[in-house]
Amino acid sequence: MAKLAVDIHGGDFGPFVVIPSCLDFFRSNPQHFGYLFGNAQSYRAYVSESPANVEWIDTDELSDIERATPSKLLRKSGTSSIEIAYKALSNKDVDAIVSAEHTGVLLALSTKYGQLHSQLNRPVLASWLPTTSSETVMLDLGASFSATSDQLVAYAAVGIGLMRSRYSTPKVSLLNLGTEAFKGPLELRTAYQVLSQWEGIEFQGFIEANDLYCGRTHIVATDGFTGNTAIKSAEGALKLTLSSVSDQFTASIWHKLLGLVLKYRLKSVVSQLHPDNANGALVAGSDLIVIKSHGNARRRALTAALNRAVDAIESQSAERIWEELDKVR
């Protein structure tokens, strides 16, 4: 049984996507409880059709000014949906938050309401990659523009903690330009040396970005700038391919029919690789469990984020990550 706080605001599509996706999820999962934080007055029709395991908490909405300058959130106590949800999480009234709010807002509030591990100077954003097999998590996807060797090792430790419940000796890699140990900048080569001595993992050394999506590794550590670039570049390429495929089959009825058959056949390929299925990044490294959904997440993606939250709670990911970070000397 998991108690999930959901911030109905934030994200490109907002409450009209978030709320129905949530109500469906909690209807299908009566063992879990949903706490919907947001401006309930404006969505009364949804409130009245909510199932018994959903509770509404009427709050303000985060303003665009607060959203643009998240550092200000650290200084005063706010009454927005996301901040009230963090207060509930901090009081252990709920087990996790799911929100499509801006990364900067979530990083600031996790710092404000959570206890950050001493090895980190800000929370780390861990995101699942779309792969055809296995599970691969990449981090940091957050606000780090570059990373020292110590930070790269700490990111790897967060990833190890996250994957430890599933794999007894998780496979760990560092993203680099080439696979040879002498390649790349000094900080990567130093982190390589540290991780090659780490016990209880299978250290795979350096991985190149073209090997990220084949499920070769469980954990990829990199700085936020590089990680964001890698994942966005793959998303751009995949989305363009998928839309190009669709465009090919609209010319005539015969093509449309063919397109339908092919769409069916392609479905399993697409669903494995579609970024939506990998939605739900973990704001990690504090004692709180917060799942960030894509800003442009649609229904399928939001369901993936809710499932990710349940999984993080059940696998005690925050504690496990803390344990691994304790091993960093």
Residues of the shown chain interacting with its own copies in the complex, contacts defined by CB under 8 A:
130, 132, 145-146, 175, 177, 184-185, 208-214, 224-226, 228-241, 244-245, 247-249, 255, 258, 261-262, 265-266, 268-269, 272-273
**CA–CA distances in Å: residue 136 to residues 25, 108, 216, 248:** 25, 26, 8, 32
Nearer to its own copies, 234 or 289 (CB): 234
CA-to-CA distance for 155 and 123, rounded, in angstroms? 10
Instruction: Name the DSSP class of 280.
Output: -
Nearer to its own copies, 198 or 249 (CB): 249
Strands 124-128 and 281-284 come out as antiparallel
Residue 35 makes CB contacts below 8 A (sequence gap 6+) with: 3, 4, 5, 6, 54, 55, 56, 57, 85, 88, 93, 94
Residue 98 makes CB contacts below 8 A (sequence gap 6+) with: 4, 5, 6, 7, 280, 291, 293, 302, 305, 306, 309
Q: How far is the CB of 265 from its own copies (least distance, A)?
A: 5
Nearer to its own copies, 34 or 159 (CB): 159
- Angle at 47 (CA atoms; ends 46, 50), nearest 5 degrees: 85
Q: How far is the CB of 126 from its own copies (least distance, A)?
A: 17
Nearer to its own copies, 47 or 270 (CB): 270
Q: How far is the CB of 305 from its own copies (least distance, A)?
A: 19
Strands 281-284 and 290-292 come out as antiparallel
Q: How far is the CB of 225 from its own copies (least distance, A)?
A: 6
Nearer to its own copies, 1 or 214 (CB): 214
Q: How far is the CB of 249 from its own copies (least distance, A)?
A: 7
Q: Percentages helix, strand, coil for the chain, rounded to the nearest 5?
A: 50, 15, 35
Nearer to its own copies, 226 or 279 (CB): 226
CA-to-CA distance for 216 and 206, rounded, in angstroms? 12
Nearer to its own copies, 34 or 184 (CB): 184
CA-to-CA distance for 145 and 164, rounded, in angstroms? 27
